């Protein structure tokens, strides 16, 4: 028999079974040697309880001349199956030993495992884009308005508004209406389709009574884009110098009541409106759209003038009754660069300190052309960044 004190390596090194050594006898005449007996359950030491596992790795016939009694803790011999009642008598009893005994058709499916299996990088990116698209498509219970604003010109309001509209249209299928509410705006030059002589927000504001009488007339003022969104353009105004040396627009902007009427008319076409605002937050057109804003998006560049303008605008909103809108704003860095890394860290920390989320949209050669923006012409990482921003906005609006 195998001694429990032998090491596992010595058992596999010597394939010849060892004979038991003779016991010393007191009398000179040799006595017949007794057959080795397996220790009983009471005699077997605790450390030898796993001897059956070691013995199973060897060929028992090589070292045991005859079968030995089973230890007390061995499995009992198989029992004949107990006859079970038929299906008419009910299900099989729980103690029948069948693998289907505990199978419940009405039980809920088990929770998915938290174990993260290996996923190829390209497949992981594809899954992330699918999840982002799902979030962009989240429905809203009411009409929602996204206000893209910064009182500092050149911050990237118009390109960001165009890209957001394309993301909600192409990926989300929401077909939003993009409104140019900037009196000096150039939205018409940044979209893909804009026929000559297209009607503008000024024309719509002058004919709101006709729109109220016939809701279908609103589509005459909108221009459909191949990137799946509508555009209500503006007729750019020019700055002129007055005799006293100050500057003013060559014609007045729409009033606050007219801005509210424009919003009401556009809400008949889509449940999502995106407003490209101007640089003057005291302007009637700017203030007229403000009560309808559900989400504020502030594009900035990492320089003092752009970031200070954003802070001043937020402070004005806070003191004029729009504190909730200001506190939920999203800061979007446009065209980030390594040259602005230190400034970015400082300004992003300042925005984060007041509880605002900061995201980024990378620089793109297509945007640098300063021409009409086509969604498919943007780089993939640019589209991914805009889609993530759109998903963030959509999740907020759906909650």
Q: Per residue in 229-259, is it b (16+ CB within 10 Å) or e — as a string?
A: bbbbbbebbeeeeeeeeeeeeeeebbebebb
Give the pLDDT score at 329. 98
Quick one: which of 306, 307, 357 has its CA closest to 329? Answer: 357
Give the pLDDT score at 12. 37
| Tens-digit pLDDT string for the chain (399 aa) | 444 444 434 433 444 444 555 555 555 555 555 544 544 444 444 444 444 443 444 444 444 455 555 555 545 565 655 555 544 444 444 454 444 344 444 555 556 556 555 666 768 889 999 999 999 999 999 999 999 999 999 999 999 999 999 999 999 999 999 999 998 878 999 999 999 999 999 999 999 999 988 888 999 999 999 999 999 999 887 778 778 878 777 778 899 999 999 999 999 999 999 999 999 999 999 999 999 999 999 999 988 999 999 999 999 999 999 999 999 999 999 875 555 566 777 889 999 999 999 999 999 999 999 999 999 999 999 999 999 999 999 999 998
The rounded distance, in Å, linking the Cα atoms of 218 and 215 is 6
Answer whether residue 120 is part of any domain: no
Burial class (CB in 10 A: 0-12, 13-18, 19+), 1: middle
- Domains in the chain, number: 1
Q: Which residue has the tokens 């060892």?
A: 18
The full length of the chain comes to 399
Q: Per residue in 57-82, is it b (16+ CB within 10 Å) or e — as a string?
A: eeeeeebbeeeeeeeeeeeeeeeeee
Answer whether residue 338 is part of any domain: yes
99 three-class SS = coil
Give the pLDDT score at 212. 86
37 neighbors 26 (Cβ within 8 angstroms): no
Give the pLDDT score at 222. 98
- Residue 188 belongs to domain spanning: 138-398
Give the pLDDT score at 68. 56
Answer whether residue 303 is part of any domain: yes
Question: The tokens of 204 are what?
Answer: 């719509």
Quick one: which of 331, 343, 356 has its CA closest to 302? Answer: 343
Question: The tokens of 362 are what?
Answer: 């990378």
* CATH at 369: 3.40.50.300
Instruction: Tell me the C-alpha to C-alpha distance, in Å, between residue 145 and each of 102, 200, 272.
Output: 53, 19, 6
Question: The tokens of 229 are what?
Answer: 């969104």
Answer whether residue 198 is part of any domain: yes
320 neighbors 326 (Cβ within 8 angstroms): no
Answer whether residue 324 is part of any domain: yes
Q: Which residue has the tokens 């700055």?
A: 239
The rounded distance, in Å, linking the Cα atoms of 316 and 322 is 8
Give the pLDDT score at 219. 94
Answer whether residue 331 is part of any domain: yes
Answer whether residue 3 is part of any domain: no
Adjacency order of strands within the sheet including 223-224: 223-224, 230-232, 177-181, 272-277, 144-148, 295-300, 330-334, 357-361
239 three-class SS = strand
Give the pLDDT score at 50. 46
Quick one: which of 63, 45, 47 has its CA closest to 55? Answer: 63
């Amino acid at each position: 028999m195998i001694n429990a004190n032998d090491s596992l390596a010595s058992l596999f090194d010597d394939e010849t079974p060892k004979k038991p050594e003779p016991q010393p006898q007191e009398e000179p005449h040799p006595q017949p040697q007794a057959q080795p007996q397996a220790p009983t359950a009471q005699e077997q030491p605790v450390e030898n309880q796993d001897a059956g596992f070691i013995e199973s790795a060897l060929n028992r016939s090589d070292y045991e001349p005859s079968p030995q009694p089973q230890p007390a803790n061995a499995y009992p011999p198989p029992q004949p199956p107990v006859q079970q009642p038929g299906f008419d008598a009910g299900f099989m009893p729980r103690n029948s030993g069948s693998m289907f005994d505990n199978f419940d058709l009405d039980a809920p499916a088990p929770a998915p495992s938290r174990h993260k299996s290996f996923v190829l990088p390209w497949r992981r990116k594809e899954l992330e884009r699918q999840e982002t698209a799902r979030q962009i498509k989240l429905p809203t219970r009411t009409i929602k308005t996204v206000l893209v604003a910064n009182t500092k010109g050149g911050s990237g309001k118009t390109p960001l508004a165009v890209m957001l509209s394309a993301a909600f249209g192409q990926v989300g299928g929401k077909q939003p209406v993009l409104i140019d509410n900037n009196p000096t705006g150039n939205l018409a030059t940044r979209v893909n389709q804009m026929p000559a002589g297209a009607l503008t927000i000024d024309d719509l504001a002058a004919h709101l009574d006709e729109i109220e009488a016939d809701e279908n007339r609103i589509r005459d003022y909108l221009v459909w884009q191949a990137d799946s969104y509508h555009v209500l353009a503006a007729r750019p105004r020019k700055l002129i110098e007055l005799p006293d040396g100050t500057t003013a627009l060559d014609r007045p902007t729409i009033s606050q009541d007219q801005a509210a009427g424009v919003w009401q008319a556009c809400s008949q076409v889509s449940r999502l409106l995106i407003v490209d605002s101007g640089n003057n937050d005291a302007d009637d057109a700017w203030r007229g759209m403000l009560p309808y804003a559900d989400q504020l998006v502030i594009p900035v560049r990492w320089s003092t003038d752009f970031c200070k303008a954003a802070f001043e605008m937020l402070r004005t909103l806070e003191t004029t009754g729009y504190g909730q809108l200001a506190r939920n704003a999203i800061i979007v860095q446009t065209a980030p660069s390594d040259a602005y890394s230190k400034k970015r860290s400082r300004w992003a920390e300042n925005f984060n300190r007041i509880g605002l989320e900061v995201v980024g949209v990378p620089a793109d050669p297509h945007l640098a052309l300063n021409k009409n923006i086509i969604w498919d012409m943007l780089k993939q990482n640019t589209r991914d960044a805009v889609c993530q921003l759109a998903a963030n906005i959509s999740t907020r609006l759906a909650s």
